[in-house]
Amino acid sequence: MPQPTKNQVHVNRPLTNIAVAFLQDQNEFISNRVFPNVPVPNQSDSYFVYPKDQWFRSDAQVRAPSTESAGSGYELDTDTYNAKVYALHKDIDDQIRANADAPLNMDRDATEFVTRGLLLRREKDWAEKYFTSGVWTNEDTPSTKWDASGSTPISDMRAYMRDVKVMTGFRPNKLVMGEPVWDVIQDNEDFLSRISVNQRRIVTTDLLAAVLQLDEVLIGGAVQNVAAEKATADMQFIFSNAALLVYAAPRPSLMLPSAGYTFSWTGYTGAGADGLRMSRMRVDLRRCDRVEGELAYDQKQVAADLGFFVDSPLT
């Protein structure tokens, strides 16, 4: 046996140029892109609502000489929002910090951990409230599932969009799908027969948006662990076997309808445009530094008839 041995000349230690962490890409979180974001100075407030029916009826009449014009009008309602504050922190113990090896950066890692925890919470909230049945005025389950031979998802969605248009005067401009649904659509002949696949033969969400004349197609690709802490991980998509067509205003605007708005409390000291604020503080009693994040928002459905929910389009 050669002496000294390889174990005597080398002691395993952490590499300083690599570490492994499962940081979920923030682009996978889409809930903040479905409804327009409304930065608000107050945690709660009210906003005006114009009833739809009165704006789609004409009371105009032929005017005889020397008579008044026909009179008409509309009512005005109000609704409210309340931006709840969601918070999460990660403590960095002094002893652990002092003993940490390179390339660990405890403050950076804690910030990433807390930020993604809050974004995941917001994503789950939106999906649980609005990516589900019984919430939108319009809803259907395709009679021929989209993963079945001869299915027509494009024709189905065009029919759904017409239903919303005739009910509201606005055609949906956004489509939200779970990743399993998008995987099926990419190979469906009803879609592929309508496009010329590009030079690299890549099917994209932009092509689907063009076929359906939508502004945007959003794929909900975020994943969550639904198992309890320290139990065996149970990883699942937050958005799964469903799709949602909505009309969402391009930007917050007076007298412009939208399926919903996200009210983000920017008046909370230090919060950004999406209501997120990060803090770092000393907790002497625990002999640690605390990285804390807060996210203040209210994802509010404004017009249920501006959405069409497609329930269980896959078998």
Separation CA 279–CA 292 (nearest Å): 5
Q: Is residue 275 part of a domain?
A: yes
Confidence band, pLDDT 50/70/90 cuts, at residue 198? low
User: pLDDT, tens digit, for every residue of 134-154?
Assistant: 999 999 999 999 999 999 999
Cα-based distances in Å from 77 to 37, 80, 124, 294: 22, 11, 30, 32
User: pLDDT, tens digit, for every residue of 4-41?
Assistant: 555 554 444 554 444 455 667 788 899 999 999 999 99
Q: What's the total number of domains in the chain?
A: 1
Q: Is residue 157 part of a domain?
A: yes
Q: Is 208's pLDDT higher than 50?
A: yes
Confidence band, pLDDT 50/70/90 cuts, at residue 276? very high
Range of the domain at 136: 85-311
Q: Is 203's pLDDT higher than 60?
A: yes
Q: Is residue 7 part of a domain?
A: no
Is 49 in contact with 254 (CB distance < 8 Å)? no
Residue type, 227: A
Q: Is the peptide bond before 153 cis (omega within 30 degrees of 0)?
A: no
Q: Is residue 257 part of a domain?
A: yes
Is 239 in contact with 13 (CB distance < 8 Å)? no
Task: Determine which helix (DSSP H) or strand (DSSP E) holds 155, and give its type and residue range.
Answer: helix 153-168
User: pLDDT, tens digit, for every residue of 73-100?
Assistant: 888 899 999 999 999 999 999 999 998 8
Model pLDDT, residue 15? 46
E strands, the chain, in order: 37-40, 44-49, 77-82, 84-93, 138-140, 174-178, 216-220, 223-225, 235-237, 242-246, 260-265, 276-283, 288-301, 307-311
User: pLDDT, tens digit, for every residue of 55-68?
Assistant: 888 889 999 999 99
Task: Collapse the DSSP code of 27 into the 3-class scheme (helix H, G, I; strand E, B; otherwise coil) and give the result.
Answer: helix
Q: Is residue 127 part of a domain?
A: yes
Cα-based distances in Å from 230 to 23, 227, 233: 19, 8, 8
* Phi, psi of 232, rounded to the nearest 5 degrees: -60, 130
What are residue 219's DSSP bridge partners? 177
β-pairing, 307-311 vs 235-237, is unpaired
Confidence band, pLDDT 50/70/90 cuts, at residue 50? confident
- Average pLDDT for 118-133: 96
Question: 109: which residues sit within 8 A by CB, 6+ positions away?
Answer: 21
Q: What percent of the chain stands above pLDDT 70?
A: 91
Question: 238: which residues sit within 8 A by CB, 6+ positions away?
Answer: 123, 124, 127, 220, 222, 223, 224
Q: Is residue 38 part of a domain?
A: no
Q: Is residue 54 part of a domain?
A: no
Q: Is residue 280 part of a domain?
A: yes
Any idea what the CATH number is for the domain that residue 100 is in?
Answer: 3.90.1690.10
